[in-house]
Amino acid sequence: MAAGKYNFTIEQGATTDFEIVYKDSDGNPIDISGYTARMDLRATPGADTSYLTLSSSLGPCGTGLNMSGSGGLGASKPLTSGSIGIYISSVSSSALDFTEASYDLEIVSGSGGSCPVVTRLIEGKITLSKEVTTGSY
């Protein structure tokens, strides 16, 4: 199955918090218990440097990918089975400095040893809406 296409905007200095749900062809959520997730923001696909790396190991202020059932720090999502909450704290978004970036979001099976199953769920472009009001939190 090909990855879905989804473009979105990050507002620099603001919290980004939304959820995607991985579903089968009948529209039922797929159980992703035991999976991890990863997502990079880069200038272009294959670029050497990442603007931001998100994973299911949460970073400062809860920035990261919250798998369904994880009750992730600082994030109100995910709410449903088969879902991944994408959470970028205001502190993390303040540090971003690009106009447009490419990204993809992958999940990795918890089994398989040296040969895990990797599924790319979505990919697309991210636009950074530059902050006008700045200051310490």
- Where is pLDDT greater, at 67 or 100? 100
pLDDT of residue 103 exceeding 50, the answer is yes
DSSP conformation class of 34: T
Whether the predicted pLDDT of 32 surpasses 90: no
Segments forming the whole domain that contains residue 39: 4-129
Distances (CA, A) of 72 to 5, 40, 79, 133: 25, 19, 11, 28
Q: What pLDDT is attached to residue 88?
A: 95
CATH code: domain of residue 117: 2.60.40.10
In percent, how much of the chain has pLDDT > 70? 87
Instruction: Tell me which H or E stretch contains 135.
Output: none
135 lies in some domain: no
Q: What is the pLDDT of residue 129?
A: 98
Domain assignment present for residue 32? The answer is yes
Is 136 a member of any domain? no
Please state the separation of Cα 99 from the chain's center in Å.
18
pLDDT in tens, 38-49: 999 999 999 999
Residue 112 is predicted with a pLDDT of 58
Angle value at C-alpha 93, between 128 and 120, nearest 5 degrees: 75
Show the tokens assigned to 115: 């040969």
Edge-first strand listing for the sheet containing 64-67: 16-21, 83-88, 64-67
**53 membership: H or E segment, kind and range:** strand 50-55
pLDDT at 59: 84
135 sits in the region (left: phi over 0; alpha: psi -120 to 50; else beta) called left
End-to-end alpha-carbon separation of the chain, Å?
Answer: 43
Q: Is the pLDDT of residue 74 over 50?
A: no
Whole-structure pTM value: 0.85
- 120 in a domain, yes or no? yes
**What's the rounded mean pLDDT across residues 126-130?**
98
